Structure 1
């Protein structure tokens, strides 16, 4: 009984240390970016030795993968399996595109800083590329659903995906416009882009 209790206490202590390391890593990734966060930085922020960090996470990739699960839950990116439900009850193209704008705007508001740092560092940390591809797949699924039915023109999908991308979102948000005016501008841009793509 005593041995079992000691094992449970030890496992709990290990879990608490692991959680501290992950929280420290997420904070540092948000501040500096994953590629510029060292194991020494993490150890100092978590209040543990570097060897302890390495015992729990052998490589930067291991840390990024494990942090990614927490970050994904916080950012709540769109996922392909939810795309259809996102547009339930909407019938016109304008309604669907307005919902697409609202969904991508809300997502970027939650995660633009992390996405920017991940994109910057993805060439150095392959695990970030997988994270960004998953985010991209969710955005594209929303775009395809917004343009359906009928089966969306691939060129239109490409144009709309570009127009609702993070870089364009950041540039448009620098305009000194009221939120409603900006949303209306984005809708006009999407409609013009689709018309041009479908006419090409």
Structure 2
């Protein structure tokens, strides 16, 4: 095993998701994940503090991209227009590996209460990042919180649609996330 082989982080995530799906989260060990990825246990621990964190790899980057997109939106953008800018920025970072991994990741999360809990915390964190970025733009707290939650729902719905079925390789996440945001905007307007 090469000590500093390129792509170790990505291989660890893929190996973990496959093993979680094949044999369950609880019975999968760090040693098995490292072996499947072709790295040592010490390499695993250089990238992740524990096996649970594998499934939220990239969460900080995703939160940062959502926030940056909101921050960089035009000054006269409405809260949801700023959220749309955040969704576009974050969507640019999602590529074929994310799309390929999505169904396996969904199955792994569905099989473990601990992973479901961690996934819920990830969702809270992403919504909070968007809310904070909106508040920093001067959006009042309740409006920012609502827009952040709508942004989270749009991202999740867009990601689900993007990752399901047979899609052309050049198909991007952003149009799906933005369409979901438009649907949610219309739905919220109908609430009265």
Residue 165 of structure 2 corresponds to residue 161 of structure 1: no
1:126 aligns with 2:82: no
**1:192 and 2:186 are equivalent in the alignment:** yes
Unmatched runs of 5 consecutive residues or more in structure 1:
1-12
Could you list the per-position Cα deviations for residues 131-164 of structure 1 after superposition, in whole angstroms to 9, with x for gaps in the alignment?
A: x245313421354345861333466654443232
CA RMSD of aligned residues (A): 5.1
1:170 match: 160
User: What SS class does the counterpart of residue 164 from structure 1 fall into?
Assistant: helix
What TM-score, normalized to structure 1?
A: 0.52
Matched residue pairs, number?
171
**How big is the shift at 1:114?**
4.2
After TM superposition, give the deviation of residue 99 of structure 1 in Å: 0.3
Structure 2 distance, partners of 1:157, 1:78, is: 11
Check whether the contact 1:79–1:141 (CA below 8 A) recurs between aligned residues. no
Tell me which residue corresponds to 1:101. Answer: 87
Deviates more, 1:21-30 or 1:89-98: 21-30
Q: Distance in 2 between matches of 1:66 and 1:169?
A: 20
* C-alpha separation in 2, matches of 1:20 and 1:158: 33
Q: Indicate if the aligned counterparts of 1:25 and 1:42 stay in contact, CA closer than 8 A.
A: yes
Matches within 5 A, 1:12-161: 16=3, 25-29=12-16, 32-36=18-22, 42-43=34-35, 46=38, 63-65=50-52, 67=54, 71-72=57-58, 76-79=61-64, 83=67, 86-88=70-72, 90=74, 91-93=76-78, 95-109=81-95, 111-114=98-101, 116-122=103-109, 123-124=111-112, 126=114, 129-130=117-118, 132-144=119-131, 145-146=133-134, 149-153=139-143, 157-161=148-152
Bigger helix fraction: 1
CA distance, structure 1, for counterparts of residue 149 and residue 36 of structure 2: 45
Instruction: Please report how far the alpha carbon of residue 193 of structure 1 lies from its aligned counterpart in structure 2 after TM superposition.
Output: 3.4
Distance 2:177 2:10 in 1: 35
CA contact (8 A) 1:22 1:63 kept: no
Counterparts of 2:146 and 2:9, CA distance in 1: 41
Structure 2 unaligned blocks of 5 or more: none
Asked if the contact 1:78/1:138 (under 8 Å) is kept, the reply is yes
3-state SS, counterpart of residue 51 of structure 2: helix
- 1: CA distance, partners of 2:175 / 2:35: 47
Distance 1:64 1:159 in 2: 30
Structure number with bigger Rg: 1
